[in-house]
Structure 1
Amino acid sequence: MKEYEPDGAYPEGYSYWEYGTTYNVLLLAALNKILGEDITGSLSRNFMQTASYYEHMTGPTGQSFNYSDCEFSPNLSPAMYWFAQKGNAPSLLWVEKNYLSETNRANNTANRFLPLVLLWGGDINIEKLTPPQSLMWTGGGRTPVSMMRTSWTSPEAIYVAIKGGSPSSNHAHMDIGSFVMDAGGVRWAMDLGKQDYESLESKKMKIWSNTQDSERWQVYRYNNYSHNTLTINNELQQVSGYAPIEHTTRDTTFMSAVCDLSSVYATTVSSCKRGIALVDKKYVMVRDEISAPADTPSTIRWTMLTPAKVKKIKKDRIELEQSGKKLTLKVVGKYPVRLQTWDTRSPNAYDASNAGTVKVGFESEVPAGATGHFTVYLLPEGSTYDSGKNMPLSQWPENITDN
């Protein structure tokens, strides 16, 4: 139960939440009935908050924030009906109700826990559910995450989610500082997610060691080269590092989270922080602040994995197109940047195919002993950015209540 502390974020991510938490609530339900009393609260004060974590982990496209060894396609989770019943919080099923449709029949009938929906949700009127009130959720613990959106009801809503943590966690990738983004009904910033374990183990890959020199980090989908984060001096992230979310802002004109990545890049920088903000419910802003060591420059590679087509690359922007929608990456930095794309094909026979994806971003150098800052505006079609809100991370507002 301590895995859910301090406020419900599950360290192993979306898919393993469903796996582990289902068995957890089965045990709790059985014990509560056998003992004739509710022992849930005495086991973990913050356990009930984990249902909100799981609900916020799905974006308006219907895809999850699939960090670590997780899938991006969600399915029905009967455990959520237990949380909704136990907490008298039917809005926890706002996302789940979509999985009861006829189009999900095959997945549902293959779900061995499907009868639990009747057991725990039989008294809940699915047709009268109201959406959650909060547009943002942040949790700490072993894998801190922050997720924010512009709406629960619009399929066109903007959604962005970022994670901290450590590559040393169970099922973790070197994806510290990585994010996903939805807008206009499509996912723009994506995560490749897991690779089938058997496909690697059958080739004698030793993927279950989390040491710095483990073969696990040779797998393309597991290292930082494939994620929406930074690569510095072409080195791997440090397994011994841990990135906390330092502070958040819940104001709907500047929902944001700031993550200290310094220890994850300890061999290449003296400090490194990333802030991500959903500004005025119109666009996403990613700001990185990096200080190079006194005696060594830091070569920065900023990457975002996307299924979109690259239409144009200009001096300071990259234009993407997908499903008839457009997104522009506008880059502003203290030091010159070189915008480019990278192929996601791997030369290794053991790596899975990443067909239909491309990495976009830039490279730059921060001189020895200097501090650089780089801001990427992710602009859905028709939106403009406010340069006045591109402040140093130390000036980002903190802990403002929801509007």
Structure 2
Amino acid sequence: MARREAIGFSLGAFVLMTASPAAAEPGHPSADSKDILPELLPMHPRILITDEEMDRARSMAAHDRVYARLIARIIREAESILDEPVIEYALSDGERPSMLGGSRAIIRHVLYTAFAWRWTGDRRFAERARAEMMAAARFPEWNHTHFLDVAETACGVAIGYDWIFPFLSRDERALIRTALVEKALLWGDRAYRGSEDEWLGFPRYSWNWNPVCNGGLLAAALAVAEDEPLLARDIIAGATASLPRALAAFGPDGGGGEGPVYWSYGILYYVLSVAMLERALGSTMGLTSTDAFRQTDQYRLWVQGPTGKAFNYGDCKEKLAGNVALAWLARNNAQPATSSLAREEMVAGMEAPKLDGEFDRFFPLYAIWYPEAPERANAALPAAVHFRGDADIACFRSDWSSPDAAYLGFKAGNNAANHTHQDLGSFVLEGQGVRWASDLGTDSYQLPGYFDGKTPSGARYRIFRINTASHSAMMPEGVNQDPFARAAITRFGVRPRGGFAITDLTAAYPGHAASIQRGVDFTDGGGLVTIRDEVRGGSPGSRWRWAMLTQAQIAIEGSSAVLSLEGRSMRVVADRSASRFEVIDARPPSTAQNPNAGYRLLTLHTQADASGELDLQVSLFPLGGRKAASSATAPLSAWT
């Protein structure tokens, strides 16, 4: 406890010092790390693991068969890396050249081989890690104009430097240390001192760049801290002052406004940051004390449906990659369900022929944050949950033990959040082991204008997968949502076998109605899902389009439709007999965009009455059959 209090006091001094406009002083001859960073572990390794912890891990491998298999899998992957060439310096073509793929490959090569050397003592592994780090150290630069490249390169090189430190000669250490300082830390120091360089704005960001850039710089600072204590002190102060901005974006309940993929990327580096600080300095610097952080692992549980597919709103794919950060979160937050998922993802990686998933470069960290098998993993989970904030989503699930369970994900939130789409009020739906209502997710980032979204006329909003027309949403005919609109879930309720959520979409379609409300109701364990839309104060006779995106084959029977997919079927029934469903292709207007093969939109075209009002209710039966309507046939104001 005394150690943590000392660090907390020191941090206040760090922050004051970073306010100085003076240049950083790397290598100051009188600097002594014991004076500047008194809590720093003096020996290597100190990033994420120590020699004592490695000894305990070897003891665990002797009596835990799964852990022994995990170590064997890591060593086997390290063996395969021995024959792979080192990464060469190369920037991609395009508007914003990047070396991010190479930066991530450096992490993969170094972490596996450096860990394998610490475990086995086989010098082949240390030689391979050294070769990778020396090559990266000789790059002309690490591309600070796309700072993710700097951060990930620095992370891999720093951890390798720390883990194989005894194997490196004095000259090799000097070369690698100089690269970490000149190609990463001095750029970071400029950023933390308020540089106006447009490429160094990450300390002020709240999205994934914040934890990734801060985390890579923290790794570099902690690796070289005994030789560069003044610079390391300032980097630690800058990073720990900046990281709460990223955590605030998960607030107040731990949700991910950027969507599940970028939540995964951000939380991975946030966890790395606090784990590195805790191991090397004995404190997490208060970075784990908020409700948002303590609950954020629950977000990851809920944005994956029973089929294993993600609630993939925004720039996200349906398949979420395994993420070792869940193993750390399970321990820190004492969540059995998170531990169960982390262990499931770990075992899947162990059984994979190649560990080349999106976050598998960090797979060796499972040996450090090993997720134990929990008892009664999902016993306490409710039937529904609401994550507020930029995400503002509600999720409903009938069961946690069966892939055939019903699942509903409902999206509100902030259209202007990073990596979001114009998808307020949209939903995904599962049942019988089938994804009935889908989200197309991301398109290619190489499309012209994909990130041109600073104004409502930006090219981003003409991309089909991003605009409202491709989503399971309600919209005025031909009118996409305001790309800067917010829509909160205004009412949410949980029942023993379901619940409901209502969002206000009025701001999404400015000038089209005085009030636009959408509610979803999950009844009888998902046997009946109701989507209800209410428009008030609209134009008389104004036309509206209801849509549901699906891969199912559709047979229309007037105001009802039967969806068939993977040998299962589901009925959809509209309450307006004068309206007819229609099927339209989900093909985009441009051949440059993803053709969305196999997807179609079940649509219903209707119109407001003479007073400009519209009530539309659609019932869906994702578990098959057709049961009696629920009390949700009442107006949204009466839903409970």
> What TM-score does the superposition give when structure 1 sets the normalisation length?
0.91
Alignment-derived partner of residue 191 in structure 1:
439
Q: 2:598 aligns with which of 349, 356, 363?
A: 356
CA 1:103/1:117 → structure 2, altered by over 3 Å: closer, same or farther?
A: closer
Long gaps (5+) in structure 1: 398-403
Alignment-derived partner of residue 363 in structure 2:
114
Alignment-derived partner of residue 509 in structure 2:
265
Alignment-derived partner of residue 289 in structure 1:
534
Q: Give the match's secondary structure for 1:94.
A: helix
Answer 1 or 2: which has greater strand percent. 1
Q: Give the match's secondary structure for 2:323.
A: coil
CA 1:107/1:224 → structure 2, altered by over 3 Å: closer, same or farther?
A: farther
Answer 1 or 2: which has greater helix percent. 2
Alignment-derived partner of residue 406 in structure 2:
158
Displacement of 1:141 after TM fit? Answer: 0.7
CA 1:297/1:166 → structure 2, altered by over 3 Å: closer, same or farther?
A: farther
CA contact (8 A) 2:288 2:294 kept: no
CA 1:3/1:285 → structure 2, altered by over 3 Å: closer, same or farther?
A: same
Deviates more, 1:139-148 or 1:341-350: 341-350
CA contact (8 A) 2:340 2:373 kept: no
User: What aligned pairs does 1:49-198 form with structure 2 within 5 A after superposition?
Assistant: 49-99=295-345, 100-101=347-348, 105-106=352-353, 108=355, 110=357, 111-121=360-370, 124-125=372-373, 128=375, 130-131=377-378, 133-134=380-381, 135-198=383-446
Q: 2:266 aligns with which of 20, 26, 41?
A: 20
Q: Specify the code of the residue in structure 2 equivalent to 1:271.
A: S
In the alignment, the residues of structure 1 paired with residue 422 and residue 379 of structure 2 have an alpha-carbon distance, to the nearest angstrom, of: 32
**1:386 maps to 2:629:** yes
In the alignment, the residues of structure 2 paired with residue 160 and residue 276 of structure 1 have an alpha-carbon distance, to the nearest angstrom, of: 9
Q: Deviations over 1:178-232 (max 9, x none)?
A: 100010001000001001202x0xxx33533242111111111010000000121
CA contact (8 A) 1:164 1:177 kept: yes
Query: How many matched pairs?
Result: 388
Alignment-derived partner of residue 238 in structure 1:
482
Displacement of 1:55 after TM fit? Answer: 0.9
Q: Deviations over 1:83-131 (max 9, x none)?
A: 1011122221333433323795146455101112221125x126x4522
Q: Specify the code of the residue in structure 2 equivalent to 1:51.
A: D
CA contact (8 A) 1:260 1:273 kept: yes
In the alignment, the residues of structure 1 paired with residue 520 and residue 639 of structure 2 have an alpha-carbon distance, to the nearest angstrom, of: 10
Q: Specify the code of the residue in structure 1 equivalent to 2:251.
A: E
Alignment-derived partner of residue 374 in structure 1:
616
User: What aligned pairs does 1:179-258 form with structure 2 within 5 A after superposition?
Assistant: 179-198=427-446, 200=447, 204-205=448-449, 207-258=451-502
CA contact (8 A) 1:159 1:182 kept: yes
Displacement of 1:40 after TM fit? Answer: 4.4
In the alignment, the residues of structure 2 paired with residue 273 and residue 37 of structure 1 have an alpha-carbon distance, to the nearest angstrom, of: 47
Alignment-derived partner of residue 305 in structure 1:
549
Q: Give the match's secondary structure for 2:307.
A: coil
CA 1:40/1:151 → structure 2, altered by over 3 Å: closer, same or farther?
A: farther
Displacement of 1:75 after TM fit? Answer: 2.2
Q: Specify the code of the residue in structure 2 equivalent to 1:178.
A: S
CA 1:107/1:170 → structure 2, altered by over 3 Å: closer, same or farther?
A: farther
In the alignment, the residues of structure 2 paired with residue 304 and residue 165 of structure 1 have an alpha-carbon distance, to the nearest angstrom, of: 19
CA contact (8 A) 1:167 1:210 kept: no
Q: 1:317 aligns with which of 560, 563, 567?
A: 560
**1:5 maps to 2:247:** no
CA contact (8 A) 1:319 1:327 kept: yes
Q: Give the match's secondary structure for 2:575.
A: strand
CA contact (8 A) 2:558 2:581 kept: yes
Alignment-derived partner of residue 400 in structure 1:
none
CA 1:242/1:353 → structure 2, altered by over 3 Å: closer, same or farther?
A: same
Q: Specify the code of the residue in structure 2 equivalent to 1:375.
A: Q
Alignment-derived partner of residue 282 in structure 2:
36
Larger Rg: 2
Q: Specify the code of the residue in structure 1 equivalent to 2:529.
A: V
Q: Give the match's secondary structure for 2:495.
A: coil
CA contact (8 A) 1:28 1:40 kept: no
CA 1:92/1:308 → structure 2, altered by over 3 Å: closer, same or farther?
A: same
CA contact (8 A) 2:486 2:507 kept: yes
Displacement of 1:32 after TM fit? Answer: 1.8
Displacement of 1:393 after TM fit? Answer: 0.8
CA contact (8 A) 1:298 1:368 kept: no
Q: Specify the code of the residue in structure 2 equivalent to 1:60.
A: P
In the alignment, the residues of structure 2 paired with residue 42 and residue 125 of structure 1 have an alpha-carbon distance, to the nearest angstrom, of: 24
Q: Give the match's secondary structure for 1:248.
A: strand
Displacement of 1:28 after TM fit? Answer: 0.6
CA 1:388/1:137 → structure 2, altered by over 3 Å: closer, same or farther?
A: closer
Q: Deviations over 1:155-188 (max 9, x none)?
A: 1100001111232111111111110001000100
Q: Specify the code of the residue in structure 2 equivalent to 1:133.
A: A
Deviates more, 1:213-222 or 1:338-347: 338-347
Q: Specify the code of the residue in structure 2 equivalent to 1:258.
A: I
In the alignment, the residues of structure 1 paired with residue 292 and residue 408 of structure 2 have an alpha-carbon distance, to the nearest angstrom, of: 24
Q: Specify the code of the residue in structure 2 equivalent to 1:176.
A: L
CA contact (8 A) 2:450 2:463 kept: no
Q: Deviations over 1:269-303 (max 9, x none)?
A: 2211111111011121111111243x554311000
In the alignment, the residues of structure 1 paired with residue 512 and residue 579 of structure 2 have an alpha-carbon distance, to the nearest angstrom, of: 19
The alignment's C-alpha RMSD in Å is: 2.0
Q: Give the match's secondary structure for 1:216.
A: helix
Alignment-derived partner of residue 401 in structure 1:
none
In the alignment, the residues of structure 2 paired with residue 289 and residue 104 of structure 1 have an alpha-carbon distance, to the nearest angstrom, of: 50
CA 1:89/1:388 → structure 2, altered by over 3 Å: closer, same or farther?
A: closer
